[in-house]
Amino acid sequence: MTKTHETWILVADDDRAHRDMLRANLEHAGYSVMEVTNGSEAVKCVKTQHPDLVLTDMRMPEMDGLTAVREIRKIDERVPILIMTAYGTIENAVQTVKAGAYDYILKPLDMSVLLNTIKTGLEKRSEPETQSKLASDDYIAESPAMKDIFALAEKVARSEASVLLTGESGTGKEVLANFIQQKSARSGKPFVKVNCAALHDQLLESELFGHEKGAFTGAVAQRKGRFELADTGTIFLDEIGDMALETQAKILRALQQGTFERLGGTQTIKTDCRVIAATNKDLEAAVAAGRFREDLYYRLSVVPMRIPPLRERREDIPALANYFMEKHSEKNRKHMKRIAQEAMDRLVAYDWPGNVRELSNCIERAVILSLGDDITLESLPNNIKKTSSAPEGDLNIMEQAERSAILTALRSCGGNKSLAAEKLGINRKTLATKMQRYNISEE
């Protein structure tokens, strides 16, 4: 096989008849075709022949499509890979797109769809890499609750106070910690994150405070700890829920006196760092049960901030969903434009036990699964699809969200309508109309 200026497509499929059919159609459309019968041959072929595009079956002997995509990506970052999959293995197809395929196509193949998708893949390859439009530190706050939280966070950021972030898993504690650090006077200084739940006792202490050579088996060289690295900056103690009491005592001293020793060391080291801590555990209960030191709790929670679960601030869902649609479209080189209304209704109605993280995953999956411009109801997972979006009373979900936003705003402004309207970003007259419509009384 020698390559010329022609466009070469590598077809990987174990089914002979299917390969013949593809070859005939692709050659008819003006492409040159090379064939292999399994994934490992496909990988070898990419390495030696550099095809312009890879069209591979999902299920093959020796090496399946997913593994093949991963292996191909290791040797060639750019070659477009298109997966052929049967409906029953669609979830696997999603995995292959996450692994680096640019799209998948359903079997039985529709030739015009296949040729179009191949064309898109080849075009994408010649596009220059575009810079991401979305900064990684973007955040969404539409609900009054989240607006209040970010407003408070901005004020607190300027102080040196320790902040304790609580909230269920996936609510955005780390997002908020990043925000506070960025808005603080220490923003240009080190920002050191420690996941306290990932390590236990000795390893955690060594991570936090460092160790001298020979401090314990495996301590083959001296190592600086996170408190030392965070000096003059900020330390983020994530998932502080369950730590040994002894470790807690050392942390307290490091925060209160700004001093500690490395494990196995005698020299006292000084550190000046601001602390932000986070947990999804009920720390007050842990204090009551004697599992968390009360003094450390008070030292950490000078400013406590609780991020409500997503189901308590449904007004954020549409904005978050659209934000994730854009973000994941860009990442997966798709061009999704909107979320169909019936899909959005379900998203707003669903309870999101995994909070914003679950919403993000759900939208990523939908972006990958959707074939047109829209995220449709069909592309949502079954449990969400089945969520009843028939609300109590006559209001639809969006209206319910709006009603609850108005109530919250009025409550937080002591019933002052001008203030509440300002907070909601609508004028006073609109607020009055909406209050009437939603049957909200003046007091």
Ligand X SMILES: Nc1ncnc2c1ncn2[C@@H]1O[C@H](COP(=O)(O)OP(=O)(O)OP(=O)(O)O)[C@@H](O)[C@H]1O
**Which chain residues interact with ligand X by CB under 6 A?**
139-141, 167, 169-175, 280, 356-357, 360
Nearer to Mg ion, 174 or 330 (CB): 174
Q: How far is the CB of 282 from ligand X (least distance, A)?
A: 13
Burial class of residue 49 (count of CB atoms within 10 Å of its CB; 0-12, 13-18, 19+) = middle
- Axis crossing angle, helix 144-157 with helix 397-412, rounded to the nearest 10: 50
Q: Work out the end-to-end distance of the chain between its first and last CA atoms, rounded to an integer number of angstroms.
A: 82
The residue within the footprint of Mg ion, chosen from 174, 212, 351, 422 (CB under 5 A), is: 174
Q: How far is the CB of 278 from ligand X (least distance, A)?
A: 6
CA nearest to 277, candidates 197, 201, 183, 202? 197
Distance from C-alpha of 105 to C-alpha of 115, rounded to nearest angstrom: 11
Q: Which residue bears the tokens 């659209």?
A: 322
Nearer to ligand X, 179 or 227 (CB): 179
Q: How far is the CB of 23 from ligand X (least distance, A)?
A: 43
Name the one range near Mg ion by CB under 5 A: 22-30, 136-144, 170-178, 390-398: 170-178
Question: Does position 212 bind Mg ion by CB under 5 A?
Answer: no
Question: Does position 139 bind Mg ion by CB under 5 A?
Answer: no
Nearer to ligand X, 22 or 204 (CB): 204
User: Length of the chain in residues, anyone?
Assistant: 443
Q: How far is the CB of 173 from ligand X (least distance, A)?
A: 3
Instruction: Beginning with the edge strand found earlier in the chain, give each strand of the sheet holding 191-195 in spatial order.
Output: 191-195, 234-238, 274-279, 163-166, 303-306
In the numeric block, which tokens belong to residue 230?
């965070």
Distance from C-alpha of 128 to C-alpha of 126, rounded to nearest angstrom: 6
CA nearest to 366, candidates 387, 380, 345? 380
Question: Does position 35 bind Mg ion by CB under 5 A?
Answer: no
Name the one range near Mg ion by CB under 5 A: 90-98, 120-128, 174-182, 199-207: 174-182
Nearer to ligand X, 14 or 174 (CB): 174
Which of the choices Mg ion, ligand X, none does residue 171 contact, using the CB cut-off of 5 to 8 A by kind? ligand X
Which of the choices Mg ion, ligand X, none does residue 357 contact, using the CB cut-off of 5 to 8 A by kind? ligand X
Q: Is 164 strand, coil or helix? A: strand
Nearer to ligand X, 71 or 207 (CB): 207
Q: How far is the CB of 236 from ligand X (least distance, A)?
A: 10
Contacts with Mg ion by CB under 5 A: the residue count is: 1
Distance from C-alpha of 157 to C-alpha of 91, rounded to nearest angstrom: 43
Which of the choices Mg ion, ligand X, none does residue 356 contact, using the CB cut-off of 5 to 8 A by kind? ligand X
Name the one range near Mg ion by CB under 5 A: 85-93, 168-176, 318-326, 431-439: 168-176
Instruction: State which residue has the least CB distance to ligand X.
Output: 172
Distance from C-alpha of 93 to C-alpha of 369, rounded to nearest angstrom: 9
Q: How far is the CB of 254 from ligand X (least distance, A)?
A: 23
Nearer to ligand X, 173 or 211 (CB): 173
Number of other CB atoms surrounding residue 240 within 10 Å: 25
Nearer to Mg ion, 174 or 284 (CB): 174
For residue 351, give the DSSP letter.
-
Q: How far is the CB of 350 from ligand X (least distance, A)?
A: 16
Nearer to Mg ion, 148 or 174 (CB): 174
Q: Map the footprint of Mg ion across residues 46-75, applying CB under 5 A.
A: none
Which of the choices Mg ion, ligand X, none does residue 37 contact, using the CB cut-off of 5 to 8 A by kind? none
DSSP sequence for 99-157 = HT-SEEEEESPPHHHHHHHHHHHHHHHHSPPPPPSS-TT-----SHHHHHHHHHHHHHH
Burial class of residue 322 (count of CB atoms within 10 Å of its CB; 0-12, 13-18, 19+) = middle
Q: Which residues bind Mg ion (CB under 5 A)?
A: 174
